[in-house]
Amino acid sequence: MEPVIIVLIILVVLVFIALIKTIQVIPQASAAIVERFGRYTRTLNAGLNIVVPFIDTIRNRIDLREQVVPFPPQPVITQDNLVVNIDTVIYYQVTDARAATYEVASYIQAIEQLTVTTLRNIIGGMDLERTLTSREEINAALRGVLDEATGKWGIRVNRVELKAIEPPTSIQDSMEKQMRADRDKRAAILTAEGTRQAAILTAEGEKQSAILRAEGEAKAAALRAEGEAQAVRTVFEAIHAGDADQKLLSYQYLQMLPKIAEGDANKLWIVPSEIGDALKGLSGAMGNFGGMGGGSGSNGGSDSPKERREKPSID
């Protein structure tokens, strides 16, 4: 009895193992490579699949989703003989599980080495400044080369990104100094521009103020001149209306002489020629006034015969 039970148990175990090997469940976005006696037979897609146990074997299970692989920094020499370290990130996807299994031994390692060599070839034709400012150009060129080379491997390179570009420390210090100098230069230019603009606005304001002040003074002088002319005109009209004689005019002229000499700054002033006529008229008036008073002159108090004939006797 015991050998029979042992045989039955062995048969049950074998059947169970055969069922496990017969039924293959492939997850979504995955594929499996089936080989029969070491030769490729078919590719299992997502879902429930049946294989022949102990004859068909699963060679490889491949994830068909997009993969992200970062590569370590790689030293690259630029056209101007400077060594920079570049980190890259590759986004790829397996499109053909059979080609990814049989066309290349390790497609990840192959992609890494191809990325390094292509990157050195591209950066070798650029100087440092262009390398730092041409990331999009480098990404596009690198992606084109990788996508063309990996197509036969059943790999599609969707995107290539340069994660970091690190120039030498001395170059970084020089770049920082240059950037600091550029910022100081821009600040100085802006300060000078602001000062110039402020000076222009101040000068413009002073100009407008001077123009307005000059216009005000001109209008004030015109108004004063017009007022003085009006005053002179009024006095002249009043004098003519009063029919003043030459004696009164001469007396008024002499009264204006002290006003001409007023002020500390009047060191020299010119006497008009008309003052002689005024003095003659005034002296004549004063002489007539003295003759009418009957005073004695320097000739003993006797008048000339002509004067005695013209004046009536007081007695």
How many angstroms separate the CA atoms of 23 and 62, rounded? 18
For residue 167, how many C-alpha atoms fall within 13 Å in the half-sphere facing its CB? 19
The 10s digit of each residue's pLDDT in 275-314 is 566 556 556 555 555 544 444 444 444 444 434 444 443 3
264 — pLDDT class (breaks 50, 70, 90): low
66 — pLDDT class (breaks 50, 70, 90): very high
How many angstroms separate the CA atoms of 142 and 111, rounded? 11
- The pTM score is 0.53
Question: Which one has a higher pLDDT value, 94 or 251?
Answer: 94
69 — pLDDT class (breaks 50, 70, 90): very high
Average pLDDT over residues 137-160: 89
Task: Let me know how long the chain is.
Answer: 315
Percent of the chain with pLDDT over 90: 15
Q: What's the pLDDT at 35?
A: 92
CA 13 to chain centroid: 82
Q: What's the pLDDT at 221?
A: 86
The 10s digit of each residue's pLDDT in 14-56 is 878 878 888 888 999 999 999 998 899 999 999 888 888 888 8
Contact between 87 and 163 under an 8 Å Cβ cutoff? The reply is yes
Report whether pLDDT(58) > 70: yes
Average pLDDT over residues 193-208: 90
Most confident of the ranges 172-176, 184-188, 268-272: 184-188
Q: What's the pLDDT at 173?
A: 76
Report whether pLDDT(171) > 70: yes
Residue at token pair 């001409």: 260
Q: What's the pLDDT at 155?
A: 92
Residue at token pair 């074998």: 14
Percent of the chain with pLDDT over 70: 74
168 — pLDDT class (breaks 50, 70, 90): confident
Q: Tell me which of 75-79, 124-128, 177-181 is least confident.
A: 177-181
CA 302 to chain centroid: 108
